[in-house]
Amino acid sequence: MTPSHRRREVPRFAALVLLCSLFTPLLATELLHDFDGDGRDEKLVSTPTSSHIDQRNKSGAWERADYALPEGLSPMDAAGGDAGLRFVDLNEDGFDDILFCNDEKLVIHLWNTTVKPALGWTKGWSQKVRAETKKDSTDILPSLVGKIVRAEDGDLIVEGVSEKWKLRDLIAFDIPKPLSPEEALEAFTVRPGFEVELVASEPVVVDPVAMNWDEVGNLWVVEMRDYPLGIDGKGKPGGVIKKLQDRDGDGHYEDHTLFLEGLTYPTGVFPWGKGVLYTATPDIVYAEDTDGDGSADTREVLFTGFRPGNQQHLVNGFEWGLDGWIYVANGDSGGTVKSLQTGKELSIRGRDFRFKPDTGEMETVSAQTQFGLRRDDWGNWFGNNNSIWLWHVVMPEHYLRRNPKLAVKSVRRTITDYPEATRVFPTSSAIERPNQPWSLNHVTSACSPVLYRDDFFGTDFARTAWISEPVHNLIHREVLIPEGVSFRSERAKGEERSEFLSSSDHWFRPTGLSIGPDGCLYIADMYRFVIEHPEWISPEMQSRIDLRAGEDKGRIYRVKPAGKARRPIPHLADLSPVELVRAMNSASGWQRDTAMRLLKDRNSSEGIAELNALTRPPHAPQVRVQALATLGYLEALTEDHLIEGLSDPHSEVKIEALRQTDGYLPKSDRLFHAM
């Protein structure tokens, strides 16, 4: 018997059976009813001290069922009378739920239709909706002791009571109200010595998930407005890419241009050429505005074949490599990717991906990152997934390809490996989780790691990684410590039992982190109440909440040292090659990367002499590393550069010089002896 054909009068019948104990206290009662919808009746046995449910086995004998009433609930009180428990379909899914109400308390449990024990969704009435004392109840539902109830036309009707109660209101999720951008600022707790500033908010930005700056300082923002199931809840694309401008230089982006719309779950944007690259499964696309109206009028799919699926596991990017390749994270989805320029195909199963947009070249790279493959100043790559804060990619795949017979157990090392590493310290109050209730106050949504590549925050942040934890409304910080060929990490001093940044606002959902051209930490706040994907939310909970609550909101914040004047964002677009090389002599990783990219665009030999000078002290080690890498990218590297780099006093410069020897070493005795 399917749930849709079950007898709708059963809750009333069940109430009548239980009511018999009102008039004559009983030692036991039995109720036959098909609770689980399998077409066979189970038997609820109640006594003054206990209750249990039996089901028939294959031979027809009664045995204990594989589910039970929720702990502490029974149809019968200690005196053998009616305790106030009723079976009624509160969410209208065809299964009877539990409504327990007497003079002392109100308890509601929904029948769980999707059994997934790993998520805490066990068989029975495992979806607890409410458990409160009557003095705290806001519904003023009367005691049900001695009363018959039924569900009718979306209302709960209690016999003998004229008032009705909306079923949806009884089971509704208690959602706190969203805060205004100004109120949200007051909800932050940030490490002492730092402050949070609002950069942009709705309607300028809505549902931001990623961002990037171009060479003139415009902020490109990806808006995943169609999260989680399409803008209409049925898969309709609604993603947007905008260009934000701060025309008066006050640090607030007041102007915005709609560059692209109608995208399918976009995840990343990267300035390239005269336009931008963006990721929107199944494609990586180049888009450009050719007529100057601010909106893209040409699109070219460069790579396709990235597999669709859960929006938290889609291909995402981008990160500039010291080698001049652009890197993207697999997203855990995989796929067979085709380069539309070369026609070649490549499986990215279990690995991340890098490409060159101008040639169509593509390669897989070691490890598989969920959201945010990132690099430090020295060419080390890091990734993570929702349950692991951070790992280091120790073994690059292009080296492993040289020996295909070598079996490597793992190419990555989890560096957040210390006691209670998964623990988080939110300042938001605990609310009902959609799954795995035991995971409260532990990392479950780590994403968008970012390595600090600047000096604006001071030397204490030279080895810092920040990671978003949107479920717990916070930004976590790890301090990296070199250890052999890899790293370990630990919480920063002063943050042993707290987070770098947290919010008491449950709507704060930091999904994308970036270090800006000014050296500040930028946070893309999707500002949704529900951040979990419906795949991990039970149908019972979905019936109680609006999955798109907050779809018209979004914020971008900047974190900076308190009271410290912002560093101006440089405009690099009109610089000559020589001026770009001079701009590379900077602590800003963004500035060095952008200058390196633009030097290739200039296609000029100008500036090579100045670039040579940057490879030597007294220039900062990270500048020397990038100068060596840029010479290699421009195909202007010589044996002398490499030999000099191999003797550099800084180990990271030596390592970059060693990387650059690929292709030179077999042909050079001088290099061989220098090593």
Residues 326/314, Cβ–Cβ less than 8 Å: no
Instruction: From 550, 545, 504, select the one nearest 527 (Cα to Cα).
Output: 550
Q: Do residue 234 and residue 274 come from a single domain?
A: yes
pLDDT at 333: 85
365 three-state secondary structure? strand
What pTM, to 2 d.p., does this model score?
0.91
Query: Domain tally for the chain?
Result: 3
Q: How confident is residue 12, by pLDDT bands cut at 50, 70 and 90? A: very low
Can you name the residues that pair with 271 across neighbouring β-strands? 276
Most confident of 407-421, 550-564, 602-616: 550-564
Task: Give pLDDT, residue 84.
Answer: 95
What residues form DSSP beta bridges with 299?
287
Looking at residue 22, its pLDDT comes to: 45
Q: Quick one: 240 and 150 in the same domain? A: no
Kindly state the average pLDDT of the residues 272-299: 97
**190 and 260, same domain (yes or no):** yes
Could you say which of 106, 139, 171 is where a domain stops?
Answer: 171
3-state secondary structure of 270: strand
Q: What is the mean pLDDT of residues 362-375?
A: 96
Last residue within a domain, chosen from 171, 194, 212: 171
Place of tokens 């930091």: 510
Which positions ≥6 away from 312 have C-beta within 8 Å? 370, 371, 386, 447, 533
| pLDDT reading at 523 higher than 60 | yes
Instruction: Specify the 3-state DSSP secondary structure of 326.
Output: strand
Inform me whether the pLDDT recorded for 509 exceeds 90: yes
**Do both 614 and 486 map to the same domain?**
no
State residue 17's pLDDT score.
Answer: 42
In a domain, 339, yes or no: yes
pLDDT surpassing 70 at residue 366: yes
Does residue 585 form part of some domain? yes
Task: Please tell me the distance from the alpha carbon of residue 518 to that of residue 456, in angstroms, as a whole number.
Answer: 8
**Which of the two residues, 604 and 597, has the higher pLDDT score?**
597
Structural domain harbouring 77: 3-171
Mean local confidence (pLDDT), 280-286? 97
Q: Is the pLDDT of residue 304 over 70?
A: yes
CA dihedral 292, 297, 298, 303 (to 10 degrees): 120
Q: What is the pLDDT of residue 138?
A: 65
pLDDT for 317 beyond 60: yes
pLDDT digits 0-9 by tens, 174-199 = 889 999 999 999 999 999 999 999 99
Say which CATH number the domain at 270 has. Answer: 2.120.10.30
| One domain for residues 159 and 185 | no
Higher pLDDT among residues 11 and 140, named by residue: 140
- Measured distance CA(663)–CA(638) in Å, rounded: 11
pLDDT at 1 over 80: no
The reply to whether 581 and 514 lie within a common domain is no
pLDDT at 405: 86
Per-residue model confidence (pLDDT) at position 26: 58
| Digit-coded pLDDT (tens) for 220-263 | 999 999 999 999 999 999 999 999 999 988 999 999 999 999 99
* pLDDT score recorded for residue 216: 96
Of 313-322, 450-459, 478-487, 599-608, least confident by mean pLDDT is 599-608
pLDDT (tens digit per residue) in 107-158: 999 999 999 888 888 999 999 998 988 777 666 799 999 999 999 999 999 9
Do residues 290 and 419 share a domain?
yes
The pLDDT, as a whole number, for residue 252 is 94
Alpha-carbon torsion 473, 534, 556, 475, what sign? positive
Residue 21 scores a pLDDT above 70: no
State the SS3 of 81-138.
CECCEEEECCCCCCCCEEEEECCCEEEEEEEECCCEHHHCECCEEEEEEEEEECCCCC
Residue 480 confidence (pLDDT) above 50: yes
Phi–psi pair at 562, nearest 5 degrees: -60, 130
| Together in a domain, 209 and 139 | no
**Is residue 254 included in any domain, yes or no?**
yes
pLDDT of residue 7: 38
* pLDDT given at position 125: 96
| In a domain? residue 122 | yes
Residue 435: its pLDDT value, please? 78
Is residue 78 located within the same domain as residue 155?
yes
Examine the fold and report which residue of 114, 141, 171 is the final residue of a domain before the chain moves on: 171
Beta bridge mates, 210: 222
Question: Which pLDDT value is given to residue 23?
Answer: 43
Question: What are 643's two structure tokens?
Answer: 């030999």
Q: Does 524 share its domain with 458? A: yes
Say if residue 203's pLDDT is above 90.
yes
| Least reliable range by pLDDT among 187-201, 578-592, 601-615 | 601-615
Of the chain, the percentage scoring pLDDT greater than 90 comes to 81
Task: For the chain, give the mean pLDDT.
Answer: 92
Cβ–Cβ under 8 Å, residues 138 and 72: no
Regarding whether 438 and 380 lie in a shared domain, the answer is yes
- Of the pLDDT bands very low, low, confident and very high (cuts 50, 70, 90), residue 15 is very low
Q: What values do phi and psi take at 610, rounded to 5?
A: -65, -35
The answer to whether residue 304 is domain-embedded is: yes
> Where is pLDDT greater, at 26 or 210?
210
* 190 SS3 class: strand
pLDDT for residue 673? 67
Distance CA 525, CA 263 (A): 19
Residues 189, 129, single domain; the answer is no
Query: Is residue 88 within 8 Å of residue 157, measured between CB atoms?
Result: no
pLDDT, average across residues 538-542:
88
Q: What is the mean pLDDT of residues 599-611?
A: 91
Question: Could you tell me if residue 36 is inside a domain?
Answer: yes
For residue 9, what are the contacts with CB-CB under 8 A and spacing of at least 6? Answer: none
- 309, pLDDT greater than 90: no
Residue 348 amino acid letter? I
31 in a domain, yes or no? yes
Q: What is the dihedral of CA 224, 230, 236, 242, to 10 degrees?
A: -10
Give residue-wise pLDDT tens across range 483-508: 999 999 999 999 999 999 999 999 99
CB contact set of 357 (below 8 Å; sequence gap of 6+)? 272, 273, 277, 286, 302, 326
Q: Please check whether residue 566 lies inside any domain of the structure.
A: no
Q: What whole-number distance in Å separates Cα of residue 158 and Cα of residue 464?
A: 60
